[in-house]
Chains A and B, each alone.
Chain A
Amino acid sequence: MKKTIFKVAGLFCAVAAAAWAETGTEKMVAAANQFLTTLSAQQRQSVLFAFDDDKQRQRWSNFPIAMVPRGGISLKDMNATQRSAAMALLAAALSPQGLEKVEQIMEGDEVNQKNESSRPPGSGPPGGAPGGPGGKGFPPPGNQGPPPMGNGGGPPGLRGGLMFGKDLYYFSILGKPSLKDPWMLQFGGHHLALNITIAGERGVLTPTLTGAQPALFTSGGKIIRPLGKESDKALLLLNSLDAEQKKRAILSYHLADLVLGPGQDGKTIQPEGLKASEMNERQRAMLIDVIGEWAGIIHESAAVARMAEIKAGLDDTWFAWSGPVTAEPGKNITAYYRIQGPNLVIEYAPQTLGGDPGLHVHTMYRDPTNDYGRKLTVKSQ
């Protein structure tokens, strides 16, 4: 008798727990709606776009917002309540480690801002808030897609605008937050572009750009490397390869930049390097671990589905490396690497813009077959 009571009670608890535990999409929809209610009508108008607004989808870049304006509204344009609702939305969209990575990238831009303002007066002209409401009117930025012909008007009045700072990151929502219908959340600014497409329970993070400059800085007495794990784990994988595998993995030529950066949606280049089918189990696990640094940025249930997809195509996934094969302990690699599978492209590209290439990194995370979740949303449109 007692046993039956326990069983019934246990079952009840399980059902209750299941009912209470929200899915990733549910959490995001609730947080998005909460965020939208905190906004003024004008702000809401700035933040919302049509789901199929291809221009807004592609309005992302590695550049500072003063050079390539984003749509939506920035944290700088929000009051404290709005800002915390916005960050709660971001927390619902991302995994804890994904959120940490994003916050460190933003923190790095704050370092830039401080360095900037400590310069002698006149070198960094103070300016009003860049962009602000009405972001829809921005011309397409130059770094993506076919730029406008001739001199058809650059970003107006932005030259004196702010370049850097952790509040110069923009939110935009494409479509209506929904449990069933597809919608998108974008968040980005300098060195950051998250494009999150939600379609039912599925969540797609591609294309996403992460970057860091400085890619190593001190904050609160701690050394921060926003993309340090991407660097360390890949180096670990490279070092685990035998001479023969290395010969295949290491490319004979220099790569100065991302091949499939902004504006290169949907392209699948001929893969190169070492195939995962030529790796042992330990090396394959390490490769998956590297990929997880990008695939695991999104919230957990979406990341789990994505990792399953990546593992299914692992045999046809390639690892290629170009550049120095060592790094100082605690510092970033200065080499380029690429991981390419049937529905995956990851590029890690240090930028040699004078100075230490390990201090300035761009990375790209793509699924050329599923830009902006097209594979999931085309049918439902």
Chain B
Amino acid sequence: MKWAIAAAVALSLTGTLGAHRLDEYLQATILSIENDHVEGSLRLVPGVAVASLVLDSIDANRDGILSESECRAYAARVLRDMSLSIDGERLSPRLISVEASTIRQMRDGSGEIRIDFRADLPPGGMRRTLALENGHQKGISVYLMNSLVPRDRTIQIVAQRRNENQSAYEVEYTQSGDARASSRTIGFASIFRLGMRHIAEGADHLLFLLTLLLPAPLIAFGCRWSVAGSAQQSLVRILRVVTAFTIGHSITLALAGLGLVRVPSRPIEVLIAVSILVSAVHAIRPLFPGREDRIAASFGLIHGLAFASTISELGFGRWERVMTILAFNLGIETMQLVVVAATLPSLLLLSRTRQYDFLRIGGGVFAGVAATGWILERVAGATSFVDVIVNRMRESAVWIAGILFLAGLGSFVMKKFERPGEEGSAGPLMRPPEGQTAL
């Protein structure tokens, strides 16, 4: 009888007919995210070729039986080999249960070990990232990593990322702290935040807006930028540009978000880079002086299409889509206002100084280079370092804005002091063309 068993096992080892997992250790994890904790279910299925290796490491006393304590010790080891973290903070998963098939089932590839674990989640922000890396038996394993659709409807998964063999997995989700609120308002709030983030983290939209604002306080004189108008005029011009951009992107966001317009995103991405390039050139030399608002509106149409592709990935139904568009757009506008509010004083102050030319031309050149890089990247698939550099700048945006503001304040104050004696030597650049009152 023993020989018959051995023959059957040998057959399953050598035969091409083996219907079972053969030479890998399958490790399949399904996470279940709750409000204050995460549960994981891990299925471990050793293939025939690796079963001995795996079993030897479980059956510590080699008695051919997987005792409960051996299984628990093994499960603890598996959990130690995993790294689970929330927003970069390491979690320590606790073992809930472990169950294993018989050694015989596992030797012929039809058995499995199931480990359930749980980890408490510390309170955190509205948008969180849960990361799991499985380093157990790396050399012989294949992995599957997934999350269940959260039972708690206040939690919504917005993105999942994995490496090629799924040993590393990240799930990004939005979560409302108030579980009593209705799911619609929560969805609304998280989409609103998504809109804000989209501007704050979407380097190209931000760069476009800032580049367009650079010459906005100025008045073109022929083919060059001349002096700033009055503070009020500058302010009005800036607000008109921002409003025009908003109207433009709102229109296409609504159309594309509702599915009335469908445009592939590749050409849109390219056009956005082109829009940055055009505004960069415009910041250096006026291309369309006095018509910034119209240009901003038409470029807004393009940017709106890109915004729409972000929310189309969120997978909402038709009615919810209207609310999604509204929430998302409000988020975008809010963040846009924050950006404008943060840069407006510096723009108004600096644009009244000679040094503003450096900022305007320097900014224009930077935006132009970045835009060219993006165009190459998006058309030819070439890789450039634009994203890295621009993102590095974006991360220190608060500092840059602060320095600009101080510089603006400084040069403005200096100019005030210089003013009585040097009124006449302000140069042609500083002369108001139509006798406009300076600030």
Assess whether B142 is in contact with A257, with CB atoms less than 8 Å apart: yes
Q: Which of A122, A147, A275, A278 contacts B105 (CB 8 A)?
A: A147
Q: Which residues of A contact B30 (CB under 8 A)?
A: 259, 267, 269
Q: Kindly supply a per-residue 1/0 record for chain B positions 409-424, scoring 1 wherever the CB is within 8 Å of any chain A CB and 0 otherwise.
A: 0000000000000000
Number of A-B contacts (CB under 8 A): 160
Assess whether B111 is in contact with A257, with CB atoms less than 8 Å apart: no
Assess whether B164 is in contact with A159, with CB atoms less than 8 Å apart: no
Assess whether A354 is in contact with B16, with CB atoms less than 8 Å apart: yes
Assess whether B100 is in contact with A150, with CB atoms less than 8 Å apart: yes
Q: Write the chain B residue with the least CB distance to A274.
A: B313
Q: Write the chain B residue with the least CB distance to A153.
A: B102
Q: Kindly supply a per-residue 1/0 record for chain A positions 139-155, scoring 1 wherever the CB is within 8 Å of any chain B CB and 0 otherwise.
A: 00111001111111110
Check A277/B259 contact, CB under 8 A, given A67-B110, A269-B30, A271-B315. Answer: yes
User: In the assembly, what is the distance between CA of A142 and CA of B101, in Å?
Assistant: 6
Among the 9-residue stretches B60-68, B86-94, B244-252, the one with 4 or more Cβ atoms under 8 Å from chain A is B60-68
Check A270/B19 contact, CB under 8 A, given A68-B110, A150-B100. Answer: no
The bracket for how many chain B residues form the interface is 35 or more
Q: Is B265 an interface residue (CB 8 A)?
A: yes
Q: Write the chain B residue with the least CB distance to A211.
A: B19
Q: Write the chain B residue with the least CB distance to A190.
A: B19
**Min distance, Cβ A119 to any Cβ of chain B, angstroms:** 8
Q: Which residues of B contact A141 (CB under 8 A)?
A: 110
Q: Write the chain A residue with the least CB distance to B169.
A: A253
Assess whether A259 is in contact with B112, with CB atoms less than 8 Å apart: no
Q: Is A125 an interface residue (CB 8 A)?
A: yes
Q: Write the chain B residue with the least CB distance to A158.
A: B8
Q: Which residues of A contact B230 (CB under 8 A)?
A: none
Report A221-270 residues with CB < 8 Å from chain B CB: 242-244, 248, 252-257, 259, 267-270
Q: Write the chain A residue with the least CB distance to B151.
A: A268
Check A159/B315 contact, CB under 8 A, given A154-B105, A253-B162. Answer: no
User: In the assembly, what is the distance between CA of A143 and CA of B164, in Å?
Assistant: 26
Q: Is A160 an interface residue (CB 8 A)?
A: yes
Q: Is A163 an interface residue (CB 8 A)?
A: yes
Assess whether A142 is in contact with B112, with CB atoms less than 8 Å apart: yes
Q: Which of B16, B108, B317 contacts A316 (CB 8 A)?
A: B317
Q: Is A272 an interface residue (CB 8 A)?
A: yes
Q: Is A62 an interface residue (CB 8 A)?
A: yes
Q: Is B380 an interface residue (CB 8 A)?
A: no
**Min distance, Cβ B69 to any Cβ of chain A, angstroms:** 11
Q: Which residues of B contact A355 (CB under 8 A)?
A: 16
Q: Write the chain A residue with the least CB distance to B27.
A: A256
Assess whether B142 is in contact with A256, with CB atoms less than 8 Å apart: yes
Interface of chain A, main secondary structure: loop
Q: Is A138 an interface residue (CB 8 A)?
A: no
Q: Which residues of A contact B312 (CB under 8 A)?
A: 275, 277-278
**Min distance, Cβ A246 to any Cβ of chain B, angstroms:** 11
Check A147/B112 contact, CB under 8 A, given A252-B164, A253-B166, A257-B26. Answer: yes
Check A253/B8 contact, CB under 8 A, given A116-B17, A147-B100, A150-B67. Answer: no
Q: Which residues of A contact B101 (CB under 8 A)?
A: 142, 147-148
Q: Which residues of A contact B24 (CB under 8 A)?
A: 256
The bracket for how many chain A residues form the interface is 35 or more
User: In the assembly, what is the distance between CA of A278 and CA of B257, in Å?
Assistant: 11
Q: Is B163 an interface residue (CB 8 A)?
A: yes
Q: Which of B7, B28, B157, B262 contacts A270 (CB 8 A)?
A: B157
A62, A159, A353: most-surrounded residue (chain B CB, <10 A)? A353
Q: Which of A150, A252, A257 contacts B28 (CB 8 A)?
A: A257
Q: Is B103 an interface residue (CB 8 A)?
A: yes
Q: Is B149 an interface residue (CB 8 A)?
A: yes
Q: Which residues of B contact A353 (CB under 8 A)?
A: 18, 20-23, 47
Q: Is A64 an interface residue (CB 8 A)?
A: yes
Q: Which of B11, B65, B109, B171 contacts A150 (CB 8 A)?
A: B65
A159, A259, A355: most-surrounded residue (chain B CB, <10 A)? A159
Interface of B toward A, CB cutoff 8 Å: 1, 4-5, 7-8, 10-11, 15-24, 26, 28, 30, 47, 64-68, 71, 99-106, 108-112, 114, 142-144, 146-149, 157, 160, 162-166, 171, 259, 262, 264-266, 312-313, 315, 317-318
Besides A150-B66, A151-B102, A270-B146, 12 more A-B contacts (Cβ < 8 Å) are: A61-B110, A63-B19, A67-B19, A68-B110, A123-B10, A142-B106, A142-B111, A147-B105, A149-B100, A254-B166, A269-B148, A271-B315
Instruction: List 14 A–B pairs whose Cβ atoms lie within 8 Å, in order of A's numbering.
Output: A116-B15, A142-B110, A142-B111, A149-B100, A150-B65, A150-B71, A154-B102, A242-B264, A243-B266, A252-B162, A256-B143, A257-B28, A269-B148, A277-B259
Interface of A toward B, CB cutoff 8 Å: 61-64, 67-68, 112, 115-116, 122-125, 141-143, 146-154, 159-160, 163-164, 190-191, 213, 242-244, 248, 252-257, 259, 267-272, 275, 277-278, 315-316, 318, 351, 353-355
